[in-house]
Structure 1
């Protein structure tokens, strides 16, 4: 009897201590993780500041010489909204509640760009072809800031330990804080995002904040809200038993299996799982206004081109709905590499431009590596993305696209390819034009004898061929060389002949 009483007493003490600790945790004043020293807030949008505090407590927020007061709801959540502001800073945010106070210093107001995707977006500046030279120069603009949302554990060819597996299951995959722009913070940051932001900052002259949230190897479906995938019967097969679904790329399933091989839970989660990266990385950002998104991803979906097209359109549409406005979305057409399906995938990416408004595509096949899925020429990719933003978002007088095909017309045994803008066509180094092919009525594929005539490309047709389709840069790894006078390449494309 005495032992039982002591046991019950011990349980009560433990329960009291847990309750006390939980109350202390619930009553702690906090800001959402996106708020930290050196951050950038989006200009020209209402500024929402939010966090948690003791349920029912009054929270006071001071910013830009204004003070707002609100009350934490039953779950402890609170938020205030300050009027939109033009660019400027540095400023401070002061938050107080129940004798607790938080100050966020060195805050800028400018343009925030979300930089997302898989390993080619994650690819660090220090590993890029021009990265070491860039870092040695140490020319870092104090009005640029970086937020690298880094995975707590690598999705490389390793088995995770129990602590990492547990955190992944709690959707605690990303950790981050804003950093000033310096050699240390830039070295491990996305090279594509770095060069994008640097060029934007030089041309637009506003503070720039770059948020990197990218996961090597991650498929498109991992960046889409799980409930949206559930609503579409097309994607139902990748949800319930995704580690064995043929709708998920083999490589992704195999790598995830290696990562979670030590898992004890039958329902172990993983960043390649449909919906995971949205919940863990994107959902926490949707209350934080941004200028737009740059995106470099697709390698983990190239095995199923039609499926990716549906997923990608859903991703862009759903992200815009979550933020509440149709921000610009600029993405990279995949590079050249000796792998099947890549030309068809690149062409599908081009066709998505007509389906997704306020979007743009940077061509990169001419920067590829025939054997390496991670080409090191990242400066050109970032700067091509920046040109799209400068022209379309910042309304600068910039040429942002290479030659855009408009139509292919057949007349007198000659096919003339016309382009959307009356621009001067050229090849690099004035070399003979290569990269064009033709498909005959009976399905035969053959190289084409192509030449530039003014602002058109002319293809000569063999006497015994009835041509139905022309293709450009349609080899997996290609040295196709059609450019405009701004030095920008034409995209991979296919087109019916009229």
Structure 2
């Protein structure tokens, strides 16, 4: 045998060995990424454990003394289902295949909440107004667990290299593992989600798991299954050519253009592209049961209020359908900032409560910053979301909403506004009531001298004016100050006068 022939044979053997090793590694037993040490599994719902293995391989799973097994299908996917469990832990989960074994430790069973949206949900605890104080305490609830599915690519106003572009195209955008809260893990976690979970855990005294899947700047359409969008003609334009569609906010298109500047393919993916974040971040969690969802998003859709209404209703409906139940969905009404369309958008968010069952709205305009789209008072936002969950999901007798407008009646002495969710209407420190305006039938907008009277709001009508609508907190940045006895503000609203 010649030296050249021997050399080629050795190369072939080495190459075959490497390929075999890669195949073995690719087909070996693995759990879905959501399953790691320190995780929380949803109580009172069937527990689903799933992953991949060699096609046809039998996978055995053991949890709390109960055994289940399943054979991997032709694609290597497997899943087992355990009976619903009560809150408790810590437990051990053992998953065994033909040649390998995975053991997960410190598993709790409690309530899991999916926390999603854009930058204000992604806003880190360490940057919140109360973040430093919270972290300095050094006392963290060990039954609160955090899974931050963070972006795995460089973010911001940068152009991605070829390797990053390829990862994005493979939907390898999110990654993370469950962590016990400490000064490091809590600091980098969503401030809104952290304060939400902290309050729920304290009130319910059960383990709470928080899964953060949020992308700064992301528009609503990026969080909806592309197949769902394609079935609705209202979204055809953005699907046809999203980077040139006025249905997509200009800022989103510009940032995506910078990120994908070096892309070679016209089909380059991006987390602002319709459907991307759903496929990369939400769909992989659809088989992982949760108690409900909290949502803080909308800044990247303010440019088209009517379109956002259609998108948001579609998002909630499709997420619920993919999970097979009407999960509670609690969301944040955008804050106050000096930008156009924000009052109309906030009012639209309020009106969506009438279209979406099992939902709730946390008001935040009173916590806003006139110049910064990322206000730092996140504790109040998280705790207001928690109140909605405590009342709506947990059935606690708490006040979860500020004054809710019921009707506006024209009387001889002016316009009287009636509210629900207000045993007592008030303003902080008994300050004069502000934030009300009147809209005439001719379209003129007039300031209103509103006062609290007999637990109603009374507004005198200027002489000779025909009033059609009452507006409240209807400036982009507002210091409107109507609250109830629980210290919760009334939402931005508009209401016709009768």
Q: Structures share a fold, TM > 0.5?
A: yes
Q: Is the CA contact (8 Å cut-off) linking 1:436 and 1:472 kept in structure 2?
A: yes
Q: Deviations over 1:2-33 (max 9, x none)?
A: 9x999997996687456524430343010110
Counterpart for residue 23 of structure 2: 23
- Segment of structure 1 superposing worse, 216-225 or 47-56: 47-56
Match of 2:344 in 1: 344
Give the Cα–Cα distance (whole angstroms) in 1 for the partners of residues 388 and 130 of structure 2.
Answer: 21
How far off its partner does 1:70 sit?
1.5
CA deviation vs aligned residue, 1:456-487 (integer Å, no higher than 9, x gap): 10010011100000000000000000000110
Pairwise mapping of residues 178-197 of structure 1 onto structure 2 (< 5 A)? 178-197=178-197
Q: Distance in 2 between matches of 1:95 and 1:371?
A: 52
- In the alignment, the residues of structure 2 paired with residue 16 and residue 113 of structure 1 have an alpha-carbon distance, to the nearest angstrom, of 46
CA shift at 1:300, angstroms? 0.0
Residue 412 of structure 2 is matched in structure 1 by 412
Deviates more, 1:8-17 or 1:262-271: 8-17
Task: Give yes or no for the alignment of 1:104 onto 2:104.
Answer: yes
1:256-298 Cα offsets, whole Å, 9 max, x none, are 1111112222221100000000000000000000000000000
Q: Is the 8 A contact 2:399 2:421 kept in 1?
A: no
1:123 aligns with 2:127: no
- For residues 72-471 of structure 1, what are the structure 2 equivalents within 5 Å? 72-421=72-421, 423-471=423-471
Match of 2:240, SS state, is: coil
* CA deviation vs aligned residue, 1:48-87 (integer Å, no higher than 9, x gap): 1111111111111111111112111111111110000000
Q: Distance in 2 between matches of 1:231 and 1:399?
A: 40
What secondary structure does 1:253 align onto?
A: helix
- 1:98-123 deviation digits (Å, cap 9, x = unpaired): 12100000000000000000000000
Secondary structure of residue in 1 paired with 2:483? strand
Question: Does the Cα contact within 8 Å between 1:26 and 1:76 map onto a contact in 2?
Answer: no
Report if aligned partners of 1:155, 1:217 keep a CA contact under 8 Å in 2. no
Runs of 4+ in 1 over 4 A off after TM superposition: 4-15
Secondary structure of 1:426's partner? coil
CA contact (8 A) 1:121 1:297 kept: yes
2:68 maps to 1:68: yes
Counterpart secondary structure, 2:396: coil
Q: Pick which of 287-296 and 57-66 moved more.
A: 57-66
Partners of 1:27 and 1:268 lie apart in 2 by 28
Answering whether residue 481 of structure 2 is matched by residue 497 of structure 1, we say: no
Question: Does the CA contact (< 8 Å) of 1:439 and 1:470 recur in 2?
Answer: yes
Q: Structure 2: which 5+ residue stretches go unaligned?
A: none
Work out whether residues 63 and 92 of structure 1, in 8 Å CA contact, stay in contact via their aligned partners in 2. yes
Distance across 2 between alignment mates of 1:155 and 1:348 = 30
Secondary structure of the 2:434 match is coil
Deviations 1:232-274 (A, max 9, x none): 1110110121111111000000011111112222221100000
Q: 1:155 touches 1:255 (CA, 8 Å); kept in 2?
A: no
Q: Check the 8 A contact 2:148/2:178 in 1, yes or no.
A: yes
Change (3 A) 1:414 1:82: same
TM-score for the superposition, normalised by structure 2: 0.97
Which residue of structure 1 lines up, in the alignment, with residue 484 of structure 2?
484
Unaligned runs of 5+ in 1: none
SS of match in other structure, 2:450: strand
**Most deviating of 8-17 and 349-358:** 8-17
- What does residue 50 of structure 1 align with? 50
Q: Can you list the C-alpha shifts for 1:334-376, whole angstroms capped at 9, x where unaligned?
A: 0000001000000000000000000000000000000000000
Distance in 2 (CA, whole Å) between partners of 1:94 and 1:9 is 42
Name the SS for the 1:449 alignment partner. coil
| CA–CA distance in structure 1, aligned partners of residues 27 and 399 of structure 2 | 54
Deviations 1:365-392 (A, max 9, x none): 0000000000000000000000000111
Aligned mates of 1:20, 1:53 — CA distance in 2: 16
> Aligned with 2:44: secondary structure?
coil
CA distance in 1, matches of 2:130, 2:23: 52
- Output the CA distance in 1 between the equivalents of 2:213 and 2:10: 46
